[in-house]
Amino acid sequence: MRKSAVLSILLVAVLLVASPAFAQSVKGENVVVVKDSTTTKLASGKSYVTTGNHQVFLTSDPKHPLNGASGDCDGACVIDGSNAMCMGSCTAVDVDGDIAFFTWDGQNDGSWKLAGGSGKWKGSSGQGTWKNTSASAPGNFARNAWEGSMSMVKK
């Protein structure tokens, strides 16, 4: 009985000392500058489109570490008539020079996942949804609204 109590106390101590992650809800809007896309017609009648953009992240909480980060998102779509399957990745450099890495899917809306990075983003995770909130405007500007949750390892 005494051994199990000691083991339980040790287990709790190890869990408390380990680098805990904290999850938080997050949302924001990105200002997007769209890059030129390239379309390739496939023999099947489908089209393969490479796409990309440069984004600045503006979080609803100005103290969130992603606020003010900027980076590039690149991806590709296979389009068959009115159906499109799109996916890609983004790297964002925050104001401290640390990199966050994201994956995404969808055409005008979809989902995203935070898959770690460097510095404060190492070991981080998260997921959520995004939606294009404006069609491309003159100068290839657009806006994407997003929300979800992120967990970051406390240092």
* Tens digit of each residue's pLDDT (9 = 90 or more) over 1-44: 444 443 333 333 333 334 455 678 999 999 999 899 999 999 89
pLDDT at site 11? 34
pLDDT at site 62? 94
pLDDT at site 118? 97
CB atoms within 10 A of CB 135: 8
pLDDT at site 138? 63
Please tell me the distance from the alpha carbon of residue 52 to that of residue 35, in angstroms, as a whole number. 5
Residue 112 to residues 41, 86, 102, 127, 150: CA-CA distances in angstroms? 27, 12, 7, 5, 11
Strands 83-93 and 99-106: antiparallel
pTM of the full structure: 0.81
Positions of the chain with pLDDT under 50: 1-19
Domains of the chain are: 19-153 (2.40.350.10)
pLDDT at site 135? 62
